[in-house]
Amino acid sequence: MSVLREALDHQPETKAFWSELAEGRFKLRHCRACERAHWYPRAICPHCASPETEWRPASGQGTIYSYSIARTTAEPFVIAYVTLAEGPTMMTNIVGSDFAEIAIGKPVEIAFGHQVEDGITLPVFRVV
Amino acid sequence: MSINGQAYIAGAYEHPLRRAPDKSLAQLHAEVALGALADAGLSKDDVDGYFCGGDVPGTGPFSMVDYLNLKVRHADSTNIGGASYILHVNHAAQAITAGKCDVALVTLAGRPRSEGVPKGGLKRADSPVQPDYAWETPFGMTILNVYAMCAMRHMHEFGTTSEQLAWVKVAASHHAQHNPNAMLRDLVTVDDVLNSTLVADPLHKLDCCIVSDGGGAVIVTRPEIARQLKRPLVKIRGAGEAVKHTAGGAIDLTYSAGRFSGAAAFAEAGLTPADVKYASVYDSFTITVIVQLEDLGFCAKGEGGRFVADGNLIAGVGRLPVNTDGGGLCNNHPFNRGGITKIIEAVRQLRGEAHPAVQVANCDIALAHGTGGMLGTRHGGATLIMERE
């Protein structure tokens, strides 16, 4: 079992996120009390501490808040913070784009089907 | 209750080695502990409080208190990464003020160079039990590329340049040339930094700190005991600590926990940044120094790049001498944690015991500040302000 699978098994509160994403649905955790979305997803709202949180469909749209091209690995890759249309900023990768296209402020969208170890699908983005 | 004037740093010792393959981790902790006690003129049997971070072998203080055969009535193993030891001096001063101990020992040691522990460019050994693990680690997050994202955003918002980042390393190298124990003693130019390998845009290899073996320790004690010793008096004036995190997704990479720990420390000390003659500022990367100098109030937010340029951090040249031992960029970064060395060089400056080439004239007020953990996700900040009495 991979360390990532072990990590997911430790977090039953976010199990639905991963199964939905694998099916091509990107969901965000919202709070019914304060009506705000947050990241990373939690059972308890980090804004108002209400336990009344739920999954809602997300647009999958965002813009690059910051990024770096990691060059110490065999294959360089783009790590980024993307600010989602719904408000929160999340860590992710930008895939399928030339490094020259990557810039702060660039619009991006979720790229489904990005499987890694143990068949787990990660929420990554591509330049629109 | 304020700690201002209630505790003194009576002893400080930095291990001379930067590679220690023939010493155990516990032995390194013990050697720096005994070095700091000897510096203070105290013995191990005087110690009744022990403070350590996540670099000790074993669970919290247990194994080192046992190895050293100490009798403590107070112990604290709060772990905020590389800034832990600056926080520990604050906690030791609080414990002394509250009457919980009289002589506090703080140690840091490590041998990552000899053990081949992953450098910042490799994956962090975070625990899969952490609630944040699955939202960061699978994306290839490393210490290096997270700090790089902070630098990228700083450049975007404030126009900070790679040349300005490089000046932090240039200043460190100017200081390290005078430190016979420094791991890197060669002078470095701005061009040397810019021409070094690009490792995580916009950071170059020479924007990154070193990995070294070794360690350091300090002794904190109450005023009555400090005054009986024969060393110059280094009084603690104020301290602050804070934790910054991802705030439910409200990410802002342009500032650190130092914004809060620094303000708390200056308020307790009754001082302002203009009073500080020397500053030790955690230099895990060049960007770390720029962000922290802004957050501590040495310049306005966004002005850090311009503040560090043209040798402004070099002793005898610039307005604010920073890390006159060569810092983590050139001198020492044991266990990938630099907090203790930040305190030790500040104590040297206040005592007038820094290398003559970098000693700050009339150094009466010094600051030590650290950021431990990840500047771009969650980290601890700790600030300590000291005065030569």
| Residue A49 pLDDT greater than 60, yes or no | yes
CA distance linking residue B205 with residue B211, whole number of Å: 13
The C-alpha angle with vertex B337 and arms to B266 and B102, in degrees rounded to 5, equals 60
| Chain Cα centroid distance, residue B31 | 20
Which residues of B are less than 8 Å from A6 in CB distance?
128
Q: How many CB pairs under 8 A join A and B?
A: 117
pLDDT of residue B124: 56
Tokens encoding B124: 């962090």
pLDDT over 90, % of chain B = 95
At B116, the pLDDT band (50, 70, 90 cuts) reads confident
pLDDT of residue A15: 96
B263 CB-side CA count, 13 A: 7
Locate the chain A residue with the closest alpha carbon to B203: A68
Q: What are the tens digits of pLDDT across the range B48-94?
A: 999 999 999 999 999 999 999 999 999 999 999 999 999 999 999 99
In angstroms, the Cα distances linking B154 to B88, B299, B363 are 30, 15, 32
Q: Report the largest interatomic distance among the alpha carbons of chain A, rounded to a whole angstrom.
A: 46
CA distance linking residue B225 with residue B143, whole number of Å: 41
Place of tokens 């040691």: B109
Tokens encoding B40: 């203070």
Q: Which of A10, A11, A39 sits opposite B248 (nearest CB)?
A: A39
Which residues of B are less than 8 Å from A80 in CB distance?
149
Which residues of A are less than 8 Å from B124 in CB distance?
none
| Residue B118 pLDDT greater than 80, yes or no | no
pLDDT of residue B1: 85
Q: Which of B133, B199, B249 sits opposite A38 (nearest CB)?
A: B249
Distance (Å) from the C-alpha of residue B296 to the closest C-alpha of chain A? 24
CA distance linking residue A94 with residue A108, whole number of Å: 8
At B170, the pLDDT band (50, 70, 90 cuts) reads very high
Q: Which residues pair with B234 in a beta bridge?
A: B9, B388
Distance (Å) from the C-alpha of residue B52 to the closest C-alpha of chain A? 28
pLDDT over 70, % of chain B = 98
What's the start-to-end Cα distance of chain A, in Å? 35
Distance (Å) from the C-alpha of residue B244 to the closest C-alpha of chain A? 14
Which residues of A are less than 8 Å from B251 in CB distance?
65, 81, 83, 89
Q: What is the ipTM of this complex?
A: 0.97
Mapping DSSP to helix (H, G, I), strand (E, B) and coil, where does residue B151 land? helix
Q: Which of A46, A47, A79 sits opposite B145 (nearest CB)?
A: A79
Locate the chain B residue with the closest alpha carbon to A92: B139
pLDDT of residue B125: 62
Tokens encoding A92: 């992710």
Which residues of A are less than 8 Å from B153 in CB distance?
65-66, 104
Q: What are the tens digits of pLDDT across the range B16-42?
A: 999 999 999 999 999 999 999 999 999
| Residue B105 pLDDT greater than 80, yes or no | yes
CB contact under 8 A, B138 and A122: yes
B339 Cβ partners below 8 Å, 6+ apart?
B53, B82, B83, B84, B85, B86, B87, B108, B282, B370, B372, B382
| Residue B121 pLDDT greater than 70, yes or no | no
Mutate to test the interface with A, among B119, B136, B139 (most CBs of A within 10 A): B139
Q: What is the mean pLDDT of residues B335-354?
A: 96
CB contact under 8 A, B201 and A7: no
Contact B354, B360 (CB under 8 A): yes
Which residues of A are less than 8 Å from B198 in CB distance?
71
Q: What is the mean pLDDT of residues B192-217?
A: 97
Q: Which of A46, A70, A93 sits opposite B248 (nearest CB)?
A: A46
Whole-number average pLDDT of chain A? 96
Q: What are the tens digits of pLDDT across the range B270-317?
A: 999 999 999 999 999 999 999 999 999 999 999 999 999 999 999 999
Q: What is the mean pLDDT of residues B178-205?
A: 98
Q: What are the tens digits of pLDDT across the range A10-27?
A: 999 999 999 999 999 999
At A9, which helix (H) or strand (E)?
helix A3-9
pLDDT of residue B336: 87
pLDDT of residue B122: 47
Mutate to test the interface with B, among A71, A86, A102, A114 (most CBs of B within 10 A): A71
